Structure 1
Amino acid sequence: MKKRRKFIFVCQGSDCKSNKAKRFAEDIGAILHSGPHRGKFKLVKTKCMDCCKSGPVAVVADQLIKKGDLKHLEQALATE
């Protein structure tokens, strides 16, 4: 049976967009298409996640990545 990819949800709501969510999603995409993460994750752009004051945000497994913190995101991906 084929292994399923895990999802990473990235908020694209208006408050996150004003905090450079598009750039954050592009950076996540670059991380996912290189190195050991290639083919293991799928990036899903969502509408508002109600974490507006912490934007841009992403969700990996059960972890909320706040303020576009790519280092925290990479640590979360390493544990998956």
Structure 2
Amino acid sequence: MNIYRSHVLICGGTGCTSSKSDKIQDKFEKLLKEKDLDNEIKVVRTGCFGLCEAGPIAIVYPEGSFYSHLKVDDVET
């Protein structure tokens, strides 16, 4: 079992998926692999957070940082 220092939770609900949350997840995973951080930070697709009007949404733990209205280009910043 791997132990990660951080988890990036990405909403996989219908609204967020229609707003490209799957592409956001792919970009996170690609960048983490490129920077050799994929063994330290885990990207997890979740169910709906219930905040569809704010989607796509990502939450980073353990900090609890909340990101809304994400775009694929936001992942690198």
Quickly name the TM-score band, shorter chain normalised.
0.7 to 0.9
Secondary structure of the structure 1 residue equivalent to 2:39: coil
Q: 2:67 aligns with which of 65, 68, 71?
A: 65
User: TM-score, normalised on structure 2?
Assistant: 0.77
Structure 1: gaps spanning 5 or more residues: 76-80
Q: Structure 1: how far apart are the matches of 2:60 and 2:26?
A: 16
Structure 2 counterpart of 1:18, one-letter code: S
One-letter amino acid of the counterpart of residue 12, structure 1: G
Segments of structure 2 that go 5 or more residues without pairing to the other structure are: none
Please state whether the residue corresponding to 2:56 is helix, strand or coil: coil
Number of equivalenced pairs: 72
Higher relative contact order, structure no. (Cα contacts within 8 Å, ≥ 6 residues apart): 2
The match for 1:78 is none
1:39 is paired with a residue whose SS is: coil
Does 2:44 match 1:44? yes
Q: Give the TM-score normalised by structure 1.
A: 0.74
